[in-house]
Every structure is written in structure tokens, then in C-alpha cells.
Amino acid sequence: MKNIILVFSFLFVGMTVQSQEVKKDKNTKVSMEVDGVCGMCKKRIEAAALKTSGVKFAIWDVKSHQLNLILDENKTDVSKVQKSILAVGHDIVLSKDKKLIAAEENYNTVSPCCKYRDEKVVLEHEGGMKKH
């Protein structure tokens, strides 16, 4: 009798844990800070995000560097979007002291006017978005 009760207890606990799966949202809103300086950066960042399967909406603001996304958590997650952005040469700011840095070979593929790591280029872009 004790064995039967023990078996049913394990079954009940197993079913309870299974039913508490995290439900994934089809329209999750996410934002992150992505380094860039101009309209060409905007196009590149947004295109990289949108090419990631499951991303429904992506818009990057040149002045604030905020990338706002709507994504389907059933198809993608934030780390996949971040990898796509890093692959096109843009760094992602996680906090004041922590960044995800694009590989040097990826950064070197951006146009010379988009070299956001170069302070001279950043100063040339101050005062508004440079259109290309």
C-alpha cells in the first residue's frame, strides 16, 4: 500500500511541475542599447534584427541608441537577436560597465563614417543624423 501511495505521489508531483511550464509570449517587447552613429547604422541594425527569425518589429533611435523590438518568444530569444547585431559590427551595451563587443572583423565591415568606436567620427555626427 505504501508503494502505491508513493508512486501516485511522484506522478502527481511530476504532472504539477509539467503544467507550470513558462508560457512564451508571441509579442514580447524588448529594448537594448546598441552603439552606432548615423542613418546607415540605423538601417544595418534594424535589418539585422528583422532578419532574425521571430522578430516582428525593430526600430533603432540614433540619438538614444535604443533598439526597440517586438519578438515571438516561441521562435527566438534576445541572445539570438544580439548575435545578429554583433555579426553586422555593432556593440551592445548591457550596463554602464558591461558591453557585448562585436568581433573586430565584423566591426571593420561597417562604412568608415559608421566607425562609432572612433571619437572623431562620433564628433562629426553630433547635432543630428547624417543621411546617406
Domain assignment present for 5? no
Q: Looking at residue 125, what is its pLDDT?
A: 83
Q: How far is residue 1's CA from residue 62's CA, in Å, rounded to a whole number? A: 69
Domain assignment present for 11? no
What total of structural domains would you count in the chain? 1
Domain assignment present for 106? yes
Domain assignment present for 90? yes
Domain assignment present for 44? yes
Domain assignment present for 39? yes
Q: Looking at residue 130, what is its pLDDT?
A: 45
Sorting pLDDT into bands at 50, 70 and 90, what band is 19? very low
Number of H helices, E strands in the chain: 5, 5
- Average pLDDT across the chain, whole number: 85
Is the per-residue pLDDT at 3 higher than 50?
Answer: yes
* Owning domain of residue 69: 28-125
Q: How far is residue 29's CA from residue 99's CA, in Å, rounded to a whole number? A: 21
Question: CB neighbours (10 Å) of residue 33?
Answer: 16
**Rounded average pLDDT over 73-87:** 95
Q: Looking at residue 11, what is its pLDDT?
A: 53
Domain assignment present for 36? yes
Domain assignment present for 1? no
76 contacts 55 by C-beta, under 8 angstroms: yes
Q: What is the CATH number of the domain that holds 38?
A: 3.30.70.100
Q: Looking at residue 126, what is its pLDDT?
A: 76
